[in-house]
Structure 1
Amino acid sequence: MSSRLIYGCMTIGGSWDADPLDAATVERARRAVRAALEAGITDFDHADIYAHGKSEEVFGLLLEEDPELRRTAVVQTKCGVRLPGNTAAPGAPVHYRLDRDTLRRSLEGSLHRLRTDSVERFVLHRPDPLADPQEVAAALDELRREGLIRSVGLSNMSLRQVCLYQQLLSTPVTALQLELSLRHRGFVEQQILVNQDEASEHPFPEGTLEYCTGNGIEVQAWGALARGLYTGAPVPAEDHRAAATAELVHAMAAELGVSGEAVVLAWLMRHPGGIRPVVGTTDPGRIAACAAAEELATRMDHEQWYALLTAARGEPVP
C-alpha cells in the first residue's frame, strides 16, 4: 500500500544549470528513488523547472531501466514558472505563464524527459494573473481528452482560485499543493483564531482545508520539513521560538524512538485534513527516517500535538 508521503524530485537532477547529467547524479538519484520505494512511497512530484529539466530526465532514465518502478510510480509534474535561462529566454524576467501553447509545450517536454506517455496529474505551479481561466481550463481538458493527463492539480493557489477551476474544468481537480509545516502553520492558526485580532497575522485562506476535505481534493504540503529548521539546520540566534521547538522535537523523537523528521511530519499528518507531506531529501537514511511519520501520526496524542504547536507559536493557544 502506498504511503501518504510524496517524494519530491526537485533535487535529484543535480545542479540547476544547463550542464548534462553525469553518472554520479544518476546514481544518487537511483539510490534516493530506491529508498523512497522501500519506504512505501510510490508518488513522485516533479516540475519542468527542477534542475533545468534534469530531475525529470534522470527519473525518465530510472523508469526505463526499472519495469517495477514504471509499474508502481504515480507521477505528477508542474508547469507555469518561467525562469530565465531555464524555461524562459536568458534575458527574460522571472514570470508565470499558463496560456494554451505554454501548457502544451511544457507537458510535451516533461513527457519526453520522463519517457512516458502520460502523467497522473498535471499541476499549475503558480497562478498567472494574465492567464484567461477559461483558456486554461479548455487547454487542460484537451490534454485529458488526448490521454496525456488524468487529473489536474493546483499549487500555491487560493480557495477562490480552486473553486473557479473546479467550476470551469471537466477534468477533476484532485490536489492542492501549499506550503504547510510546523513553521508555516497558518492553516492551523486560521482554525483556532476565529474572532481573534491575531488572525490577521496569519493570512492563510480561510476554509481551504475544510473545502478540500469535503470535495475530495488532497492537500499536499511542500516545505513540510521547514527546511530542516527543527531537525538539525542552523537556527538563527535571535529565533528563540525555533530553538525551543527544535529542542522539543529532539526530546520527543528520543522519547518516541523515531527521528526528528518523523516528528515534524507526523505533526502535519495528525491533522484530520489528510495532509500529504512532500519529502525532498536525497539521503536514503533520511528518507527511511521520514517513513516512520505515518505510523507516528496514529499514536501522537493531543497533548504532544499541542505541545509542538505551542512551542512553535511561542505562547499557548487562546
Structure 2
Amino acid sequence: MTEIPIHDHYPQASQLVYGCMGLGGGWSDVPAEEKDVKEAQQIIETCLENKINVFDLADIYTFGKAEDVVGQVLKATPSLRKKMVLQTKVGIKLTPTHAVKQYDLSPEWITSALNSSLRRLQSENVDVLFLHRPDPLMDLDDSAEALEKLHKQGKFSHLAVSNMHAGQIAWLQSAISVPIIANQLQMSLQHADFVEESITTNMKEGSQSGFPRGTMEFCEQQNIQLQAWSPLAQGIFTGKPSASPSPAELATTKLIGQLANRYSSNPNAILLAWLLKHPFNIQPVIGTTHIGRIKECAQAGKVNLSREDWYLLFQTARGNEVP
C-alpha cells in the first residue's frame, strides 16, 4: 500500500487502516488470554509487513480488551510503537457497566477514558484521539478546554471525530485550536449513501439518504481525512452472505468475483478498490482477524477500477441504474 500525507502535521500513514475491534478475545467479561495477545502480535506484524501502519482502537472495543492486548504487544516489543500510527476513540458508555448506553463527551469522561486507554495501551500518548459519537449533552467550551489541556500534556498528538456531520465538526473546531484532522464514517458498497447524497441532489429520493449532505465536500475542503468504517460490509459480498440475500446482493457478489478475475485480484481488494477510486482519498478501516484476508486487502492499491466498472458495481449494489 502507498503512504499518504493525511494532514500537514500528521505522520505518514498507510492508505488502509487496521481496525482492532475484533482483538482481545471477544465481547465478554472473560479476560484476554495469552493466545489473544499472540493473535494481536501476529496481526500487527502482518499489517506492518504489508505496509499497513495505522491501527484503529476505541476504549469500548471488546470492553477494553482490544487496547489491553495491543498494550501487551507493545510492552513485549517496544520497537513496534515507532512503526505504528496509533489512534483510539472515547465517548461511548456501554451497558451493563453503565445503567444505560449513552454518549459522553463531558470533560470528566474524556479525561478519564483517555487516561484509561493509555494505561491499557501502556503508552504515554496516542497519535490520534477520536471523539467516537456526537454527544447532545456536551458543553462545547468545557469539553474543548479539557481537550486542549490533554493535548498540551502530550497525551494525544492529533484530534479527530467519528460519525459527525459538517456542522458538528465546524462547531467543535470553533472552540478549539487543535485542528480536527479526520472524520470516520460508515462507507462501503453496501452503505453507499455518501454517493447517493451527491447524485440525488434536487431529487425527492435524495431526502432518504442517511448520509449528512455536504460532509464529504466539507472534509475535503478543510483538509480533514475521511476514514471509512465497515468498508467490507461485514463480508456479505465476500463469503458471509445475509440470511436472506436480496437479488442485488447476489448479483453484486457475482460481479465482484468476475471483476476479481478480470483484475487478477481478489474480492476483498475489489471492494476496497471501489472506495479507493473516490477522489477524496478515503482510508478504509478493515477489521478482519484472518491473516489471509489482511493480505488480500493489502492488494487493493494495485487495483485501478475503470470508471465503467466503478459505476457498474454501484448500479448493481443499489439494484437499479443511477438516476
User: Structures share a fold, TM > 0.5?
Assistant: yes
SS at match of 2:86: strand
1:189 to 182, 188, 196: 196
Aligned pairs for 1:276-287 within 5 A: 276-287=283-294
Letter aligned with residue 225 of structure 2 = E
What is the match of residue 219 of structure 1?
226
Pair 1:81 & 2:92 matched? yes
**Contact 1:64–1:70 (8 Å) recurs in 2:** no
Pair 1:63 & 2:106 matched? no
1:133 to 140, 147, 151: 140
What is the match of residue 112 of structure 1?
119
**Separation in 2, partners of 1:54, 1:95:** 20
Aligned pairs for 1:246-285 within 5 A: 246-285=253-292
What is the match of residue 304 of structure 1?
309
**Contact 1:6–1:44 (8 Å) recurs in 2:** yes
Runs of 4+ in 1 over 4 A off after TM superposition: none
Gaps spanning 5+ residues in structure 2: where? 4-12
SS at match of 1:10: helix
Residues 259-287 of structure 1, C-alpha deviations (whole Å, 9 max, x = no match): 11101111011001111000111111000
How far has the Cα of 1:238 moved from its partner?
Answer: 5.1
2:37 to 26, 45, 48: 26
Pair 1:237 & 2:244 matched? yes
SS at match of 2:129: strand
**Separation in 1, partners of 2:188, 2:143:** 30
Taking only aligned residues, the RMSD between alpha carbons, in angstroms, comes to: 1.2
**Separation in 2, partners of 1:21, 1:118:** 23
Letter aligned with residue 46 of structure 1 = L
Letter aligned with residue 14 of structure 1 = G
Residues 170-224 of structure 1, C-alpha deviations (whole Å, 9 max, x = no match): 1110110110000111111111111112101213111111111111100010011
What is the match of residue 314 of structure 1?
319
Letter aligned with residue 139 of structure 1 = A
**Contact 1:235–1:243 (8 Å) recurs in 2:** no
Identity of aligned residues (%): 40
TM-score by length of 1: 0.95
SS at match of 2:255: helix
**Separation in 2, partners of 1:287, 1:6:** 11
Gaps spanning 5+ residues in structure 1: where? none
Pair 1:94 & 2:101 matched? yes
